Amino acid sequence: MSTIQSPPAPGSTARSGTEPSGSRRRKRSARASDRGASRVFRWLATGAGALILVTLAAVAVFLVVKAWPALSMPSDELVKQVGLLRNSTSLLDYIGPLVFGTVLAAALALIFAVPVAIGIALFISHYAPRRLANGLGYMIDLLAAVPSVVYGLWGALVLSPKVQPIWAWLNETFGWFPLFGGKVSPTARVLLTVAIVLAVMILPIITAVSREVFLQTPRLHEEAALALGATRWEMIRTAVLPFGRSGVISAAMLGLGRALGETMAVLMILSPGFLYSFHILEAGQQQSIAANIAAQFPEANPIGVSTLIATGLALFVITLLVNMAARAIVARRKDFSGAN
Amino acid sequence: MTTIAPEVGNSELRALLKYVDKRRHRKNRIMKWLVVAAFVLAMAPLLSVSWTVISYGIERFNAYFLTHSMRGVYGGMDAGGVYHAIVGTIEITLFAALISVPVGLLTAIYLVEYGRGRLARWVTFFVDVMTGIPSIVAGLFAYALFAVILGPGVRMGAVGSVALSVLMIPVVVRSSEEMLRLVPNELREAALALGAPRWIVVIKVVLRTAVAGIVTGVMIAVGRVIGETAPLLITVGVIDSINFNLFDGRMMTLPVYVYGQFQQGLVPCTEGQANCIATVAYDRAWAGALTLILIVMLLNLVARLVTRFFAPKNLG
């Protein structure tokens, strides 16, 4: 992103026509290099850039257009026509628990993933031998290459049976704590299992961005800390972590955006429910927006589809805000280019 | 006397220098182990996923599986394969790449060669934001777009391609942009000084120099969208037969196939029934997952090889 401030200036010779002296001649030369096919090509390239903005706007517009029938219909009418809403009183009443479930799952995933990701990033940037660091970073990137449906399959068929005894123990020992309360599920197809799989899925992006920032810590700061007698951990705590704080925050928000929108892992692992419930060890309590859309979409009637698209619109707005905030923080750090 | 004083000072100094604050060092060591533990912890799921996918998937992963569709396969039959899903995945992903690569590459060229001012800043920012669009929202967008144009209930491969290209374009832009910025300015200036028009310079000099990196970026982007399930589930639907036509009817894709087989769950087999395997759906799901992972890994590997062998050596 820094390069926007100081772009390579290939066109500077052709574009200096703004100077007042001898402007006529320069203008002609500017026109000469921007004629015919060159001009068409420039328009093509600019058009493609503009198309990106148009696409993003189109996503919002088309979602609103298709969600409008559900958004504009009076609540009682909508509840009558849409089977999905049989337990709700209005559209908002339907979206509410879904938003709650989505945010709860993503927040839990973030709590698990951020400390581990910071640890891995530090390991690769400051602990691992230089020669190994690249290969170890590649191993972490491999986690991102595994398709989400495979994580879903693994979470449902391999992880759930393995963690069930642990969840049962947690429920027995710490059942007084609201999160672990309720009746523990015998299959472990619950939100805590989902959160763990989501955490694995967002680890690579958080690690990649944090690693980039940690590597950019000024060498002099680190050496100064070491020269004052700091141990390696003290050097990291006093020089590396404060320098990388905003980068880590934005990395965490990027991970949050991913976790909010993840469909398959939630769809395949979680046994869904539509409650405002903090019982993450109990089955049939929560559901996320994305998984709900994927589960209900094939069988929904036209107005039901419209309702689901309305929930999708809510998800789009939430992730857009999270991502924009994250990118704005990254963009403010001038000499940091995102690791994406 | 004057020589002794420093001696005493030296020994005191030496004692001070040798003095180790136990607590600080213990903390240092604990932190080191925690950091290493974090890395090991992250490797555990990777190893577990790859081990289970390979060990469960290898059983059904054979030539028969790769060359047969699911047409006429029901119950616990010891039959059925993934051919129709491979066809669908390849066609839909290639068409998505056909849409995304020109748009993404031209956008990258705009950002690097022409981008000045507000539009370029906005494009850069929103390309980054676009990388975070949830895949299901991209699917809903493609569905809504085609529903508005062609009427509701359209299910065809091309809709899925549009959904995937929404996810793929930002990845292509980011990686191509990085590669184009690596092309040294001297090359551009030399070509311009020889009188070549701008577009020739971009196509024959800049793109020519960066082609290896761009190909790598595109393959990594393809590898990322080829595993997308949710958008294809809601736009392309599912089918058991082979469909080669992107623009007519439902198609099967590998991730959706895996999900579909997983959803079927255990097959109820009666005692002593011939040709009935209770876990056949799960077995197919694992074998499908293995196929998918092999394709993704192959793409990643080829991408790495392209960079290694075709990158111009004298860049920089």
pLDDT score recorded for residue A254:
86
Other Cβ atoms within 10 Å of A64 Cβ, number: 15
When pLDDT is cut at 50, 70 and 90, the band that residue B264 belongs to is confident
Q: Which CATH superfamily is domain A73-332 in?
A: MetI-like (1.10.3720.10)
Per-residue buried b or exposed e for A132-168, using 16+ beta carbons within 10 Å of the residue's own CB: ebeebbebbbbbbbbbbbbbbbbbbbbbbeebbeebe
User: Does the CB of B20 have a partner CB in chain A at under 8 Å?
Assistant: no
Angle between helices B280-310 and B254-264 (to 10 degrees): 160
Interface contact B194, partner A, CB < 8 A: no
Residues B246 and B145 in one domain: yes
- Write the CA distances from A222 to A130, A231, A334, integer angstroms: 16, 11, 21
Residues B190 and B267 both lie in one domain:
yes
Distance from CA of B274 to the nearest CA of A (A): 26
Asked whether residue A33 carries a pLDDT value surpassing 80, the answer given is: no
Residue of A nearest to B254 (CA): A149
Q: Are residues B194 and B277 in the same domain?
A: yes
Q: Are residues B142 and B51 in the same domain?
A: no
CA closest to B195 among chain A residues? A33
pLDDT tens across A289-335, in order? Answer: 999 999 998 888 888 889 999 999 999 999 999 988 888 887 776 44
- Same structural domain, B290 and B254: yes
Q: What percent of chain B has pLDDT over 70?
A: 95
Last residue of a domain, one of B57, B74, B97: B57
**Number of domains into which chain B is organized:** 2
On whether residue B152 sits in a domain, the answer given is yes
Chain B residues touching residue A8 (CB < 8 angstroms): 112, 181, 185, 188
Asked whether residue B190 falls in the same domain as residue B278, the answer is yes
Chain A's closest residue to B299, CA to CA, is A145
Measured in Å, how far apart are chain A's first and last C-alpha atoms? 12
Q: Residue A6 above 50 pLDDT?
A: no
The reply to whether residue B125 touches residue A50, judged by beta carbons under 8 angstroms, is no
B41: chain A residues, CB-CB within 8 Å: 116
What per-residue confidence (pLDDT) applies to A291?
93
Residue with tokens 């590396």, as numbered in its chain: A240
Show the 3-state SS of A188-248.
CCCHHHHHHHHHHHHHHHHHHHHHHHHHCCCHHHHHHHHHCCCCHHHHHHHHHHHHHHHHH
State how far residue A127 is from chain B, nearest Cα, in angstroms.
8
* pLDDT confidence of residue A9: 42
Cβ neighbours for A257, distance < 8 A, ≥ 6 positions apart: A319, A322, A323, A326, B132
Nearest to A59 among B137, B170, B223 (CB): B137
Co-location of B72 and B49 in the same domain: no
B53 and B109 belong to one structural domain: no
How many angstroms separate the CA of residue B197 from the nearest CA in chain A?
A: 6
Mean pLDDT in residue range A41-61: 91
pLDDT at residue number B9? 66
Q: Is residue B272 part of a domain?
A: yes
Interface contact A44-B46, CB threshold 8 A? no
pLDDT classification of B313: cutoffs 50, 70, 90: low
Query: How far apart, in whole angstroms, are the C-alpha atoms of residue B205 and residue B183?
Result: 9
Given a cut of 60, is residue A3 above it in pLDDT?
A: no
pLDDT tens track for B142-162: 999 998 888 777 788 899 999
Average pLDDT score, chain B: 86
Q: How far apart are CA B304 and CA B211, in angstroms?
A: 14
Whether residue B124 lies within 8 A of chain A, CB to CB, comes out as yes
Instruction: Evaluate if residue B211 carries a pLDDT over 50.
Output: yes
Subunit contact A319:B148, Cβ cutoff 8 A: no
Based on the fold, state whether residues B98 and B179 are members of the same structural domain: yes
Confidence check: pLDDT of A288 > 70: yes
User: What stretch of H or E contains B157?
Assistant: helix B157-182
Q: Nearest chain B residue to A152 by CA: give it.
A: B259
pLDDT tens-place string over residues A155-207: 999 999 999 999 999 888 888 888 888 888 888 899 999 999 999 999 999 99
Any chain A CB within 8 A of the CB of B296?
A: yes
In this prediction, residue B35 has a pLDDT band, given cuts at 50, 70 and 90, of very high
* Cβ <8 Å between B136 and A263: yes
Q: Is B123 on the interface with A (CB under 8 A)?
A: yes
Q: Tell if the CB–CB gap between B28 and A290 is shorter than 8 Å.
A: no
Q: Which of A72, A94, A87 is nearest to A308 (CA)?
A: A94
The verdict on a CB contact (< 8 Å) between B120 and A49 is yes
| A296 three-state secondary structure | helix
CATH classification of the domain holding B302: 1.10.3720.10
For residue A337, pLDDT over 50 is answered with no
Map tokens 């890395």 to a residue: B39
pLDDT for A32: 53
| pLDDT band per the 50, 70, 90 thresholds, residue A53 | very high
Residue B316 lies in a domain: no
The parent domain of residue B49 ranges over: 4-57
Averaged over A47-56, what is the pLDDT? 91
Last residue in a domain, options B29, B57, B85 = B57
In angstroms, what separates the C-alpha of A297 from chain B's closest C-alpha? 6
Phi and psi torsions of A182, nearest 5° = 80, -170
**Could you identify the residue written with the tokens 């880590």?**
A248
8 Å CB contact of B227 and A305: no
Q: Looking at per-residue confidence, does B272 or B64 come out higher?
A: B64
| Widest CA span in chain B | 105
Phi first, then psi: give them for residue B207, nearest 5 degrees: -65, -40
Residue B316 has a pLDDT of: 42
Q: Taking CB atoms and an 8 Å cut-off, how many pairs form between chains A and B?
A: 302
pLDDT in tens, A103-146: 999 999 999 999 999 999 999 999 988 888 888 888 888 888 89
Cβ proximity of B238 and B260 under 8 Å: yes
> Are residue B121 and residue B16 in the same domain, yes or no?
no
DSSP classification of residue A271 = P
Taking the C-alpha atoms of B197, B203, B209 and B213 in order, what is their torsion angle to the nearest 10 degrees? 150
**Mean pLDDT taken over chain A:** 83
Percent of chain A with pLDDT over 70: 87
Q: Is any Cβ of chain A less than 8 angstroms from the Cβ of B41?
A: yes
Contact at CB, B138 and A59, closer than 8 angstroms:
yes
Closest residue to B38, CB basis, from A123, A151, A158: A123
Measured CA to CA, the distance from residue A69 to residue B195 in angstroms comes to 59
| B79-106: average pLDDT | 92
Closest by Cβ to A145, choosing from B113, B124, B223: B223
Choose the weakest-confidence range: A20-34, A240-254, B40-54, B147-161: A20-34
- Nearest-CA residue of chain B relative to A122? B35
Q: Across A6-10, A25-29, A179-183, which has the greatest mean pLDDT? A: A179-183
Reply yes or no on whether the pLDDT at A46 is more than 70. yes
Asked if residue B130 and residue B32 are part of one domain, the reply reads no
Q: Is B307 on the interface with A (CB under 8 A)?
A: no
DSSP H helical segments within chain A, as ranges?
A: 2-5, 23-32, 37-72, 75-81, 91-122, 130-145, 148-154, 160-173, 191-215, 219-227, 232-235, 241-261, 264-269, 289-296, 302-332
Pair A290, A315: CB distance under 8 Å = yes
Task: Judge if B218 and B74 occupy the same domain.
Answer: yes
